[in-house]
Amino acid sequence: MANTKTGPREYRPLALTGAVLIKPKVYQGTNEGWTMEPVDFSEAGNYLGYRFDPRSLYAISAPKGAIRGGHLESRSKLVTILTGAVFYVLVDMRPGENQGNAISFYLGESEEAWGKSVLVPEGVIDAWVPVTEKMMYVSVGDHPYNAFDSLVTLNLFDPKLGVKWPMGSQPHHDTEHRPNHQILDVSQFIESLK
CB 39 within 8 A of CB 47: no
Question: Residue 4 falls within a domain, yes or no?
Answer: no
Q: Residue 150 pLDDT > 80, yes or no? A: no
Q: Residue 71 pLDDT > 70, yes or no? A: yes
Q: Residue 66 pLDDT > 80, yes or no? A: yes
Question: Residue 3 falls within a domain, yes or no?
Answer: no
Q: What pLDDT sits at residue 130?
A: 95
Q: What average pLDDT does the segment 78-101 reach? A: 96
CATH of the domain at 98: 2.60.120.10
Q: Residue 131 pLDDT > 80, yes or no? A: yes
Question: Residue 143 falls within a domain, yes or no?
Answer: yes
Q: Say how far residue 137 (Cα) sits from the centre of its chain.
A: 10
Q: Residue 57 pLDDT > 80, yes or no? A: yes
Please tell me the distance from the alpha carbon of residue 42 to that of residue 47, in angstroms, as a whole number. Answer: 10
Q: What pLDDT sits at residue 29?
A: 75
Question: Residue 17 falls within a domain, yes or no?
Answer: yes
Q: What average pLDDT does the segment 84-113 reach? A: 95
CB 139 within 8 A of CB 79: yes
Q: Percentage of the chain with pLDDT > 90?
A: 58
User: Could you tell me the pTM of the whole model?
Assistant: 0.88
| 3-state SS class at 61 | coil
Q: What pLDDT sits at residue 180?
A: 67
Question: Residue 80 falls within a domain, yes or no?
Answer: yes
Handedness of CA 109, 115, 119, 123 (dihedral sign): negative
Number of domains in the chain: 1
Burial class (CB in 10 A: 0-12, 13-18, 19+), 138: middle
Q: Residue 45 pLDDT > 50, yes or no? A: yes
Domain that holds residue 110: 9-192
